[in-house]
Amino acid sequence: MMTDLAPSAPALTQQPPDQPVLAVSGLITTLKAGRRSVRLVDDVSFSLRAGEILGLVGESGSGKSLLLLSVLGLLSPPVAIEAGSVRLKGRELVGLAERELRSLRGAEISMVFQEPLTSLDPAFTVGHQLAEAVRAHRDCSNNEARELSVMMLERVGIGSPAARYKAYPHELSGGMRQRVMIAMALLLSPSVLLADEPVTALDVTTQAQILDLVLGLQAEMRMGVVLVSHDLGVVLDIADRVAVMYAGQIVEVAPALELAAAPRHPYTRGLLASKLSLLDTTSKVEVMPGHIPSLADIGAGCRFAPRCPRALERCSLEPPELEPDGAERTLRCFNPLGQQT
Amino acid sequence: MSAVVLGRPRRLSRLRTLPAGIVIGGPLAAFFTVIGLIGIFYQYLPAANVLWSNQDLFNVLSPPGTPGHLLGTDALGRDLLARSIAGAGISLELGLAVTAVTVVTGGVIGIIAGYFGGVADRIIGGLIDVTWGFPLILLAVIMAGIIGPGFLSVLVAVGALNWAGFARIVRGYSLSLREREFVEAARVMQIPTWKILLRHFVPNLQAPILVMASYYIGVTIIIEAGVSFLGLGIQPPTPSLGDMIADGQNTLGASIWPVLVPGAMIAIAVVGFSMLGDGLRDLLDPRLSKPQI
Amino acid sequence: MSGSNVTKYVLRKCAYTLVVLWLASLAVFYGLRITPGNPANFTVSPIMSPAVRAQINRQLGLDAPLLVQYWHFFHGILTGHLGLSFISRQPISQIISQSTPHTLELAGAALLLVLVIGIPLGMVSALRRNGVVDRVVGLLGPLGMGIPNFVLALLLITIFGLDLHWLPVAGSGGLKYLVLPAVVLALEPLVVTVRIMRASALEQLNLDYVRTLRAKGLGRHRIVWQHILRNSLGPIISLTAVQLRTLLGYTLIVEVIFRWPGLGEALVNAVLTRDYSTCQVLALMLTSAVIVLSFLADIGLAFTDPRVRAKVAT
């Protein structure tokens, strides 16, 4: 029945309204090279509620993309999850059999990638790839899958969807391709959407359109979204809460407005400061000295210490833990900005 | 003005390990070359003929280890080892001859095309288009039909197909060499063109010459063997590895040695020179490609 | 890439190919005429009187000027009047019609083996890199290419035909007879195909879209055998066109060893028996086949290789 597949159904499992739809706790992902192993994702914890957009920010190399791949279990050796827990609506994903994971991917939890041209198979039509996603999870005929796909194409704002269904990826514009990716991810009304730099490869106007699209769909479907970007502006635009990542670790989590107005971690302040406002013609661009350390040679202590203007002696000796900072925030720092709340 | 040589082969000391091709192919090719040289020597020494043509009728089709016949005998009682050595000599001779012809003619034309461009370049391009990819065996058989079986038909067939390919490679090298400053300098100094070409271009062609020569020797050996096997190559009584195998086919049920011994010899040569070519290519210029047969 | 550019390219190649075919006919014809020894010498006894020899020359049309002879030859080719074999007096067109199906059968079987075994084997090698299959194939490869195929053929004949009596070793007649020659013929192209397929598949495996497919929840089987396979086949198509030409060359040897009554065997026999008329026609025929295959390969390349397409489009 078509309505069974329609993407407007609410989450199928009953759940207490305030239980997070995605809960990551102490996740550690390592790269093993011979005897040595490097932690690319180090003790990451965060939670996502239904209907919430969580932004994840950090420089390139901070591990944000890898974090998303870890959540989905899409890692390949020699990279693997070493420890930690990922709960999707209460169900543990780490250590889950591949078959089970496959049934969840694309149906309960989906991902959208950065570069839509290379992320779509160039040898098949867009429609084929959409219908394929449907038929991978639902027992239905080709026609039903096609109807659903065309409907979804329309919903993401693609004009003449029936015609576009038969197009190949290289025949569409960048913006349209990204809409297709989003359509593909949302076909089966997942509870969680992971978006890895979804707008970075697009021009500014299209960026805004896609972000609006995501915002709208997310509200309609009560989905939880993790939006990853190195662009703080994009994230602050639509996220409810923001998590800041540095060198594989989460260093601060806070509601978006509060983070922007009163950042606690020196790195967050640095990120904010290096974003210029269009209207601000007087401040200089503040650039943070140094760069993300190679994860292979991290010393003891806080990873940001070498670049931190507020570093204490303690900071180089022992690593700070991620701890609650008031009701809605968490923080990993010995010498944060502002006052304790 | 002494030659300016560019792109010297990397000093061996800088490489951790030699490419596998050289390690494996080199000894094989060397082994075959030594055997072949002995074979050539046999050829030109009338007294040696008896070694490979003598028929020991008491020991027909005997296996290796028979006294007096280290690797056995064929259907006429002739010693397989001696015949193979002689056959290898013919193969080596042919291989070297064809390769020399190919390299020299292809090289000269390639330099001319690369340096002067224009008509010569266009002609070469056209010829390469036509000859590239043509199966060598087919051409060798057709040549045997045209000019009669023997040494010459193989020479023409292999030479004709490969020289265009070599000319193109050399042309490529010449094009880039032409742009170098020392060529400009030489021109300014009014040094005659032929001198420039001879003293500066040729020494810089070591890489393609070594690599392709290795390949061409291997290719020639196997084509000659194939053609002789068909009866269209070297004619008896001159021994030829391919011919020996054809003879051996008739008595295959009784003994495989008349086939196996020359077969192994050919395999050693082909695998050896082919891998040597690969190794030299890895070492000197990985852009070069293997000739098709 | 615009349609009209493609058409222009194809037409240009077509014209070029026709010219080459014509040049080939010239080459084959004149080549055989410059052979030492008048062809007529071989059908008559050398002690025959000059008068009789002249008469035979006239009969065979060998007394006309070369150009006229060429015209007869060319005309004959185009109209299908190919003449008679010098030796057996059999119509050459009959020789061709009898041999061609056999050669096609052999080449077809070999090609089938190459693709049906080579493509999956290459894929498996890529998927389990350095696994058992990959290692075995990697080792057998250079060996398979170094051992001359006629030696290999004879080895196989010995083992399977003479010692084990599993398969017949000569002639044609049924599937049993096809096995050994097809296997021998297929061996070298098989090794090359596996290697190219492996490289192509490896390249695909690292591309982004594979990640998306996994994220969609697709099973491994579907990802590999539908998506990766489709995208890996590009280089194989142009490779196959090249290999068909090589196959054509090798059928000469394989047909002779196994006494397979195809075009290759016919040509070799023609050369061995100095049957000039047959030799001429068969040589031209096989040469033309190679030229046409080259043409098809070039056209195929224009459609599948993006770099060639770019050049054609300008």
Q: Does residue B124 fall inside a structural domain?
A: yes
C83 has pLDDT over 80: no
Report the CATH number at residue B183: 1.10.3720.10
Q: Does B164 touch chain C (CB under 8 A)?
A: no
> Is the pLDDT reported for residue A13 higher than 60?
no
> Does position A7 have pLDDT exceeding 50, yes or no?
no
Question: For the residues C139-167, what does the mean pLDDT come to?
Answer: 76
Query: How is residue C117 written in tokens?
Result: 């075994």
State the nearest Cα–Cα gap between C283 and chain B, in angstroms.
6
Tell me whether residue B11 is in a domain.
no
Query: What is the rounded distance in angstroms from the CA atom of residue B145 to the CA atom of residue B159?
Result: 17
Report pLDDT for B12: 45
What is the predicted pLDDT for the residue at B275?
A: 87
As a whole number of angstroms, the distance between CA C94 and CA C103 comes to 15
What is the rounded distance in angstroms from the CA atom of residue C179 to the CA atom of residue C153?
Answer: 11
Q: Is A105 on the interface with C (CB under 8 A)?
A: yes
Give the whole-angstrom CA distance, residue A310 versus residue A326. Answer: 21
Contact B146 C245 (CB under 8 A): no
Q: Assess contact for A122 and A169: CB atoms under 8 A.
A: yes
| C100 exposure class (CB count in 10 Å sphere: 0-12, 13-18, 19+) | middle
Question: In terms of CA atoms, which chain C residue is nearest residue A129?
Answer: C213
The pLDDT assigned to C111 comes to 93
**Choice between C210 and C70, residue whose per-residue pLDDT is larger:** C210
Q: What is the pLDDT of residue B8?
A: 47
SS (H, E, C) chain C: CCHHHHHHHHHHHHHHHHHHHHHHHHHHHHHHHCCCCCHHHHCCCCCCCHHHHHHHHHHCCCCCCHHHHHHHHHHHHHHCCCCECCCCCCEHHHHHHHHHHHHHHHHHHHHHHHHHHHHHHHHHHHHCCCCHHHHHHHHHHHHHHHCCHHHHHHHHHHHHHHHCCCCCCCCCCCHHHHHHHHHHHHHHHHHHHHHHHHHHHHHHHCCHHHHHHHHCCCCHHHHHHHHHHHHHHHHHHHHHHHHHHHHHHHHHHHHHHCCCCCHHHHHHHHHHCCCHHHHHHHHHHHHHHHHHHHHHHHHHHHHHCHHHHHHHHC
DSSP A21: S
Encode B54-72: b = buried (16+ Cβ within 10 Å), e = exposed. eeeeebbbbeeebeebebb
CB contact under 8 A, A113 and C231: no
B112 within some domain: yes
Give the number of other Cβ atoms within 10 Å of residue A292's Cβ.
Answer: 17
The Cα–Cα gap between B85 and C94 comes to 44
- pLDDT of C130: 80
Three-class secondary structure assignment of A88-106: ECCEECCCCCHHHHHHHEC
Predicted pLDDT at A4: 44
A160's tokens: 């003449």
Which of B134, B141, B253 shows the shortest C-beta gap to C252?
B141
Cβ contact A156:A206 at 8 Å: no
When mean pLDDT is compared across A36-50, A224-238, C147-161, the lowest value belongs to C147-161
| Secondary structure letter of residue A307 according to DSSP | G
Residue C117 pLDDT = 93
Which pLDDT value is given to residue B144? 85
3-class DSSP assignment, residue A36? strand
Q: From edge to edge, which strands make up the β-sheet containing A53-57? A: A109-112, A192-196, A224-229, A53-57, A241-246, A249-255, A330-331, A323-324
B175 in a structural domain: yes
Q: Which stretch of DSSP H or E encloses residue A80?
A: strand A79-88
How much is the ipTM here?
0.82
Which residue type, as a one-letter code, is found at position A211?
A: L
Q: Looking at chain A, which residue has its C-alpha nearest residue C207?
A: A118
**Rounded mean pLDDT of A199-224?**
87
Lowest mean pLDDT among A9-18, B33-42, B79-88, C294-303: A9-18
pLDDT at C48 over 70: no
3-state helix vs strand vs coil in chain B, percent to 5: 75, 0, 25
CB contact under 8 A, C150 and B245: yes
Q: Which candidate from B146, B275, B292 shows the least CB-CB separation from C32?
A: B146
**Do the domain assignments include residue B151?**
yes
Q: How far apart are CA A157 and CA C102, in angstroms?
A: 60
B158: nearest Cα among B136, B143, B176, B179: B136
**Is the model's pLDDT at B10 over the cut of 50?**
no
Measured distance between the N- and C-terminal CA atoms of chain C, rounded to whole angstroms: 9
Asked whether residue B256 is assigned to any structural domain, the reply reads yes
If you search the block for the tokens 């009187």, which residue do you land on? C49
Minimal-distance CA residue of chain A relative to C231: A123
Identify the band that residue A8 occupies on the pLDDT scale cut at 50, 70 and 90.
very low
How many Å from the N-terminal Cα to the C-terminal Cα in chain B? 42
| Confidence class for position A11, pLDDT limits 50, 70, 90 | very low
% of chain A with per-residue pLDDT over 70:
87
Nearest by Cα to B137 from C254, C110, C170, C111: C254
- Alpha-carbon gap, residue A317 to C6, rounded angstroms: 68
Pairwise CA distance, residues C179 & C84, whole Å: 33
Q: Mean pLDDT throughout A127-135?
A: 91
How much is the average pLDDT of A1-20?
A: 50
Q: Is the pLDDT of residue C33 over 70?
A: no
If one counts the domains in chain B, the total is: 1
> What's residue A288's pLDDT?
66
pLDDT tens profile B218-268? 989 988 898 888 888 877 778 889 888 888 888 887 888 888 889 899 999
Cα of A258 vs its chain's centroid, Å: 20
Q: Do A118 and C211 touch (CB under 8 A)?
A: no
Per-residue model confidence (pLDDT) at position A2 = 41
Any B CB within 8 A of C249 CB: yes
pLDDT tens digit string along A299-319?
Answer: 778 888 888 888 888 888 888
From A196, which residue of chain C is nearest by alpha-carbon distance? C212
How far is the C-alpha of A310 from the C-alpha of B34, rounded, in Å?
A: 76
* Chain C residues 195-224 within an 8 A CB cutoff of chain A: 207-209, 211-219, 222
pLDDT tier for residue A3 given thresholds of 50, 70 and 90: very low
Average pLDDT over residues C288-307: 76
Report yes or no on B60 lying in a domain.
Answer: no
DSSP A60: T
pLDDT confidence of A9, banded at 50, 70, 90? Answer: very low
pLDDT band per the 50, 70, 90 thresholds, residue C213: very high
Which pLDDT belongs to residue A319?
A: 84
Note if the pTM is more than 0.90.
no
Say how many Å lie between the first and final Cα of chain A, rounded. 53
Give the rounded percent of residues in chain B with a pLDDT score beyond 90.
9
**In sequence order, which residues have a C-beta less than 8 Å from that of residue C69 and are 6 or more positions away?**
C29, C33, C61, C62
Contacts of A122 in chain C (CB under 8 A): 209, 231
Residue whose pair of structure tokens reads 């020797």 in the numeric block: B217
The dihedral sign for the CA sequence A209, A215, A220, A224:
positive
For the segment B12-57, what is each residue's pLDDT rounded down to a tens digit?
A: 444 557 777 788 888 889 999 998 898 888 888 877 777 777 777 7
Q: Worst-scoring range by mean pLDDT, A215-224, B14-23, C211-220, C242-251?
A: B14-23
Q: How far is B218 from chain C (nearest CA, A)?
A: 9
CA distance B163 to B221: 16
Residue range(s) defining the domain that contains residue B283: 20-34+81-288
Q: Over pLDDT 70: what percentage of chain C?
A: 80
Residue B222 lies in a domain: yes
Dump pLDDT digits (tens) for B95-142.
Answer: 999 999 999 988 888 888 877 777 877 777 777 777 777 888 888 888
pLDDT at A56: 92
Q: What is the CA radius of gyration of chain C?
A: 24
Distances (CA, A) of A145 to A11, A35, A277, B33, C9: 21, 48, 46, 68, 41
Predicted confidence (pLDDT) at residue A5 exceeds the cutoff of 50: no
Which amino acid is present at C198?
R
